[in-house]
Amino acid sequence: MSLNKMTAAQEKRIRGALKKVPFANLLGLELETFTPGTAVVGVTLRGEHLQNNGVVHGGVIASLIDTATAFAVLTVVPKQERVTTVDLTITYLRPLVDGRVHAKAKVLRTGRRVVAVSAEVSGADKTLAATALSTYLRLGT
């Protein structure tokens, strides 16, 4: 797939894909934007996203990142190809407590077997709250 342009069919497939992920829907994750090699996924924080100290649970941030990176990968692999996360390394930089949170993911390298992706998470004030690196395995068709 070209990193320069997506077809209307590819865009439609990507827009509909998040609706098929029950866990992402449970968390309230929303696909905001995507271009070839990138994706932005956001969530408006709710009380259920917080841990007992009143800050966002790390698992919510991890899920947000994993979803954003997966969608960035979807923009660069053929429709029939399946992928899965191999690893996800997150550095939490500061706590988040409320508002809208965004994960911006970018494909760094698309190889024959693996795809490397980075992500940054920012809060409503646009302050960087977490960074991540992830690798996806291309499973073929």
Q: Does any domain span residue 83?
A: yes
Q: What is the pLDDT of residues 88-123, one digit of tens each?
A: 999 999 999 999 999 999 999 999 999 999 999 999
Which pLDDT band holds residue 140 (cuts at 50, 70, 90)? confident
Chain centroid to CA 87? 13
Q: Is residue 81 over pLDDT 50?
A: yes
Q: Does any domain span residue 29?
A: yes
Per the CB < 8 A criterion, the answer to whether 27 and 61 are in contact is: no
- Using CA atoms, how far residue 126 sits from 72, 97, 118, 122, 139, in Å, is 20, 13, 17, 5, 35
Domain that holds residue 128: 8-140
- SS3 label, residue 87: strand
Q: Over the chain, what is the mean pLDDT? A: 92
Name the residue among 58, 47, 65, 54 with its Cα closest to residue 103: 65
Task: Say what percent of the chain tops pLDDT 70.
Answer: 96
Q: Does any domain span residue 33?
A: yes
CATH for 99: 3.10.129.10
Q: Does any domain span residue 1?
A: no
Q: Does any domain span residue 32?
A: yes
Q: Is residue 14 over pLDDT 90?
A: no
Which pLDDT band holds residue 15 (cuts at 50, 70, 90)? confident
Q: Does any domain span residue 101?
A: yes
Q: What is the pLDDT of residues 25-49, one digit of tens each?
A: 999 999 999 999 999 999 999 999 9
pLDDT at 6: 76
Q: Does any domain span residue 2?
A: no
Q: Does any domain span residue 18?
A: yes
Domains identified in the chain, total number = 1
Neighbours of 47 (CB within 10 A): 7
